[in-house]
Structure 1
Amino acid sequence: MSETPQPYHIVFLLFDGITQLDFTGPAQFLARIPGAVVHTAATSLKPIETDSGFAIVPNTSLVDCPQADLLCVPGGFGTRDIIQDKEILQFLRDQAAGAQYVTSVCTGSLALGAAGLLQGKRATTHWAYTSLLEKFGAIYEASRVVQDNNIITAGGVTSGIDFALNVIAEIAGQPFAEAVQLGLEYDPDPPFNSGHPKVADPKLVAMLNARAYGDALNVLDDLLDAN
């Protein structure tokens, strides 16, 4: 008879304006870790408004959240609020002190930075916001997933799945991680070669920056300078 695995506590920070796939992508994979217990923590138990028109209900408050073995901070336009939230930043510092892994997806890395957790660390974030990492003393590395000791940062949105598989391999071994990848049929074959500025049409990159990311980048930049 196989032994029951010890609980492995995975804590995701939730907040209004979250990009839901930053959370749900890695959560789907990390939940397969033997003994995984997933905690979705927020300042209150009210539904969290995502960027996709639906809400997610947290299952614990910050105060009642258990110590994470793996802490993950997703991103989204709501990042501009959490990098100014003293309660959330202290929560991240407290959790990081006892976590095996401290991780982020997309602009969640900016919250780790605001909590003082990226000083001198190699890190990445969504391509539109990489210039902000240096404001936290981080060293930007152009990679989809960057690991510096127990700090793991992933780039934009879908890269959260890649980081999750890397962590699963470290915790449970590569064969187990490969089995998870196969079971969830993670076999990317996008119809277009347009997933990153290094391969996308420069006009498309400029359009996205003008319509979506430029203003958000400026707002975040101003907030960080003000602080």
Structure 2
Amino acid sequence: MSPTPIRIGLLLFPKLTQLDLTGPAEVFGRVPGAELHFLWKTTDPVTSDSGLRLLPTTTFADCPPLDVICVPGGPGQIELMEDQETLGFLRRIAPGCRLVTSVCTGSLVLGAAGLLRGYRATSHWSSIDQLAALGAEPVAERVVRDRNRITGAGVTSGIDFALTVMADLVGEDQAKAAQLQLEYDPEPPFQTGSPRVAPPELVATMRERIAPFIARRRAATERAAAGLATRPDA
């Protein structure tokens, strides 16, 4: 008799940041017994923010019960926060999941679905404060766990995040072996990967550069928060 598979669903959507998705997928593919589902409304190719075309394998309608749902982030997250079909799917699938998770600004999508209210969570450093409007408690850490919610910070934290999830699913020994197999031993060439360590002038320049985009994201978050206020079940 075959063991029951561990079903892991990763959401795809137009203009996602592909590393938010593919970093965790690379780890999750090494979970013994894992069955990965790349989820979208259709099985048509989805184009990431960098132009990489990704192929969904499972539609929302055909998605089986999942052990893990993972929502990545990226510029397309803004539109996704008001996409009722996607938010409805997340609300439907999450209650049956062992773990409800996200990477980067995917946590804002979980928040827009009402799935982070009362939970500690993290997101990309540029937008982590927006979680509060959606009822979550922002925590500026690389990986944050609160009960069965696990969220990763920006982009590259998806590998740290996925190893944390893998350890929860099949134990630390398996996760450590996967980390070794992937040779995940980062030594970045520059100490500028976080506002905590980057020079203040660089952080200020980057904040100014992305300010118009963050304003769009904030407006979407505020609309999502207003919509949640009218949902008694959220």
Quick check: 1:102 aligned with 2:103? no
What's the secondary structure of 2:154's corresponding residue?
coil
Task: Show the counterpart of 1:171.
Answer: 169
Question: Is the CA contact (8 Å cut-off) linking 2:124 and 2:154 kept in structure 1?
Answer: yes
Task: Show the counterpart of 2:206.
Answer: 208
What's the C-alpha RMSD, in Å, of the aligned pairs? 1.2
Distance in 2 separating the partners of 1:158 and 1:137:
25
Residue 60 (structure 2) aligned to one of 48, 59, 62: 62
What's the secondary structure of 1:51's corresponding residue?
coil
Deviates more, 1:214-223 or 1:31-40: 214-223
Count of matched residue pairs: 224
Task: Show the counterpart of 1:189.
Answer: 187
Q: Percent identity?
A: 49
Report 1:39-188 matches (<5 A): 39-188=37-186
Provide the TM-score with structure 2 as the length reference: 0.93
Task: Show the counterpart of 2:230.
Answer: none
| Gap regions ≥5 residues in structure 2 | 227-234
1:5 Cα offset (Å): 3.4
What's the secondary structure of 1:128's corresponding residue?
coil
Distance in 2 separating the partners of 1:18 and 1:89:
16
CA shift digits 1:189-218 (9 cap, x unpaired) = 111111100100112112222223x12221
What's the secondary structure of 1:209's corresponding residue?
helix
Amino acid of the residue matched to residue 24 of structure 1?
T
Quick check: 1:217 aligned with 2:217? no
Question: Is the CA contact (8 Å cut-off) linking 2:91 and 2:113 kept in structure 1?
Answer: yes
Amino acid of the residue matched to residue 189 of structure 2?
P
Task: Show the counterpart of 2:229.
Answer: none
Distance in 2 separating the partners of 1:21 and 1:189:
18
Distance in 2 separating the partners of 1:125 and 1:90:
22
Report 1:24-43 matches (<5 A): 24-43=22-41
Distance in 1 separating the partners of 2:52 and 2:161:
25
Question: Is the CA contact (8 Å cut-off) linking 2:108 and 2:221 kept in structure 1?
Answer: no
Amino acid of the residue matched to residue 167 of structure 1?
V
Amino acid of the residue matched to residue 225 of structure 1?
E
Amino acid of the residue matched to residue 212 of structure 2?
D
Amino acid of the residue matched to residue 105 of structure 1?
V
Provide the TM-score with structure 1 as the length reference: 0.95
1:4 Cα offset (Å): 4.4
| Gap regions ≥5 residues in structure 1 | none
Runs of 4+ aligned residues of structure 1 deviating over 4 Å after TM superposition are none
Deviates more, 1:108-117 or 1:56-65: 56-65
